[in-house]
Structure 1
Amino acid sequence: MSIIINLDVMMAKRKKGLTELAGEVDITLANLSILKNNKAKAVRLSTLNAICKALECQPGDILQYVEDEEEDSGSNSL
């Protein structure tokens, strides 16, 4: 299973740049860039809350669950 972060899509829809959003959310450009480029392993709920407030969106507008394709579809091992 994978969670995809579509922050770049919402930023484009809201016409907000990285620097502007980083200032509004009070997060470093480096950390926001990690989120934007889908390289983050985790995100704090307070950060997600601030991003949603700044972009006037819902968490589901940014986060997307994508099921991984199975390597071996014949295997049922846990």
Structure 2
Amino acid sequence: MSIVVNLDNVLSERNLKSKELAEMIGITEANLSILKSGKAKAIRFSTLEAICKALDCQPADILAYEKE
């Protein structure tokens, strides 16, 4: 996929665990894992907004486009 999810990097920079973020934004750890692995087919804007709010970041900090 040409959309790369850099969520692990942002979590690491903020010394947060996936479990903590999942609790903060109200999704399951399993769904967050799917997103982090890049296997998600879509993400709701409300989820993206919640992640950005919780991590104090921009969508571009989490998602990147790379040509295949």
TMscore range, shorter length: over 0.9
Structure (1 or 2) with the larger CA radius of gyration? 1
Look up the match of 1:41.
Answer: 41
Shift of 1:3: 0.7
| Separation of aligned partners in 2, 1:15 and 1:35 | 19
Shift of 1:27: 0.4
Shift of 1:55: 0.6
SS at match of 2:49: helix
Shift of 1:44: 0.5
**Richer in helix (by share):** 2
Please state if 1:17 is matched with 2:4.
no
Look up the match of 1:31.
Answer: 31
TM-score normalised by length of structure 2:
0.94
User: After TM superposition, where is structure 1 displaced by more than 3 Å over at least 4 residues in a row?
Assistant: none
Cα RMSD, aligned residues only: 1.0
| Separation of aligned partners in 2, 1:27 and 1:38 | 16
SS at match of 1:64: strand
Identity %: 59
